Structure 1
Amino acid sequence: MIEKLDRRQKYTRKVLKESFIKRMQEKPLSAITIKEVCESADINRSTFYSHYKDIYDLAFQIEDNIIEDISATLSAYNYSKNEEALQMTEKLLEYIAENRDSCQTLFSEHGDPRFQKKVMMLAHTHLLKTLEVENTNVPYNSEYLSLYIANGSIHVVQHWLKSGMKESPKEIAELITKLAKRGLSSFSDTPPMFSI
């Protein structure tokens, strides 16, 4: 009986989440009502309230699940191994591709900027660890470099999602990794590739 209830609860949360994401593709979070989410999901309001306090609680839980998944993926890699940077980036992009509707919507103009900032800061924290391990010659501004790379990477992913994900996760991972390494190479003794 408990297993059936768990399955039913998972199903209810799944259809509410899908309904919410569809609404969010059309309008901002502040304009979405519980009534329309419930109608689209074919769930009554009392069932909604047995799972979530309000529409913001639903949004935050979806965002928190994505943040937890991204954090777990980032934590699974060894920052002292250079070849793992590409694997980690590819794995993250595969996760984004598998959760395309949610990620595309949450990273769009209708998405919560606080969620986008949380993802950026998570990426920034993990990039700093990589920079500290791999590049002892990078000066005090490795924090700025990390912010630059994290912001740029997130914008690349946003564009990839918005333009229909024509490239594979591996291709985008290779692009992001190459761009990040070019940023790092500007701190070496080699002349820059581009002049401004």
Structure 2
Amino acid sequence: MDLREKKTLRAIRTAFLQLRGQRPLEKITVKELCELAEISKATFYIHYRDLYDLSERLQKEAVAAIYHSISHPDWAVSSPADFTRELFAAFQSQKPLIDILFSGTQESVLPKSIEAELRSHIFETQPELEGNVRFSTLLTYEVQGGYYSFFENRERFGDSAVAEEIVRGVQALSREMDAEPSF
């Protein structure tokens, strides 16, 4: 990729994030994005099918950055509380981007994508867990339940306090699930 193309893609990304930070994806037009990025619509369409394609690619980049900052994804199985702490640190590392790319109608994309990445990794290394209802339930609770609880309560109680309460909940659920017989 030459320097000019890199600058164009950076301008598109910057303009999109600026516009997306101000309003929902559905309210942004290619025309206004191109004006802000100082490119033609033809140039935009060389790189992206539409705004949803651009948004999806940026979301995938953010999901990859979050997932790759989790240094111990296997802790989701062996140490759920430690995994949960690491997961929230990963979310925090990308918070400004999360707030822009995963708001409004896009809110559910991030936790579902992170959970899918984790499942894929864990099932590659531990295929016996694929049909395990306890593992599946706990992972969904850790990722999706924790995510929504964290972002719903963090402003009111603070990041650390909410994250630690979620960790306590994961620990309690994990102990409870280990104590109860499976159906």
- Provide the TM-score with structure 1 as the length reference: 0.65
Q: Is the 8 A contact 1:105 1:111 kept in 2?
A: no
Q: Is the 8 A contact 1:128 1:142 kept in 2?
A: no
1:1-196 → structure 2 map (5 Å cutoff) = 5-6=2-3, 8-74=4-70, 76-77=71-72, 79=74, 82=79, 84-85=82-83, 88-97=86-95, 100=96, 102-111=97-106, 113-114=108-109, 116-122=111-117, 125=119, 140-159=133-152, 163=155, 167=158, 173-187=163-177
Q: Is the 8 A contact 1:38 1:48 kept in 2?
A: yes
Q: Is the 8 A contact 1:96 1:103 kept in 2?
A: yes
Paired residues in the alignment total: 171
CA distance in 1, matches of 2:6, 2:153: 30
Q: Deviations over 1:91-143 (max 9, x none)?
A: 4034223xx1x2112332242644553234335x28977xx8xxx9xx84332
Q: Percent identity?
A: 20
Q: Secondary structure at the match of 1:141?
A: helix
CA distance in 2, matches of 1:179, 1:126: 24
Segments of 4+ in structure 1 off by > 4 A? 112-116, 126-129, 170-173
Structure 1 residue runs of 5 or longer lacking an equivalent are 190-196
Aligned residue type for 1:152:
G
Instruction: Name the structure with the higher helix share.
Output: 2
Q: Is the 8 A contact 1:24 1:32 kept in 2?
A: yes
Query: What RMSD in Å do the two structures reach over aligned CA positions?
Result: 3.6
CA distance in 2, matches of 1:171, 1:126: 30
Q: Is the 8 A contact 1:19 1:41 kept in 2?
A: yes
CA distance in 2, matches of 1:43, 1:85: 43
CA distance in 2, matches of 1:77, 1:24: 32
Could you say if the C-alpha distance between residues 67 and 146 of structure 1 is closer, same or farther in structure 2, counting changes exceeding 3 Å? same
- Provide the TM-score with structure 2 as the length reference: 0.69
CA distance in 2, matches of 1:41, 1:159: 33
CA distance in 2, matches of 1:89, 1:22: 27
